[in-house]
Amino acid sequence: MQIIYLVLAIVGFVVPYSQLIPFVVDHGLNLSLFWSQSFANQASSAFSLDLFTSSLVFWIFVLKEGTKLQMKFLWVYIVVNLIIGLSCALPLFLGMRLTKLKTQLLSEAT
């Protein structure tokens, strides 16, 4: 399962950036244009607001679950979410969470 999460994290990086890189090449780091296009119509607004809401839920999940499992560097997943996207940050966190759970199970068994 960890390999699947890693592959999904890579896909979650490649797919969004396949659209972001051409935008940056064409328009530079024009954040106001990016923001206005993110809310250009009701359909794109729905996707953008869904992403913001899902990201907020993800941040809460990372902080609660990561703290409970005593995971380190929880801020990294939030930064990945902000810089790359939820599609990369979520499988990355789930993969690292699975690793932590397996480590805890092994230490409890000994």
Residues 88/78, Cβ–Cβ less than 8 Å: no
Read off the pLDDT band of 56 (50, 70, 90). very high
- Residue 109 is predicted with a pLDDT of 80
Cβ contacts of residue 39 below 8 Å, gap of 6+? 45, 48
Average model confidence (pLDDT) across the chain: 96
Q: Which of 52, 74, 72, 76 is nearest to 63 (CA)?
A: 74
Q: What is the mean pLDDT of residues 4-21?
A: 96
Read off the pLDDT band of 107 (50, 70, 90). confident
- What's the pLDDT tens digit per position in 27-49? 999 999 999 999 999 999 999 99
In the predicted structure, residue 110 carries a pLDDT above the cut 80: no
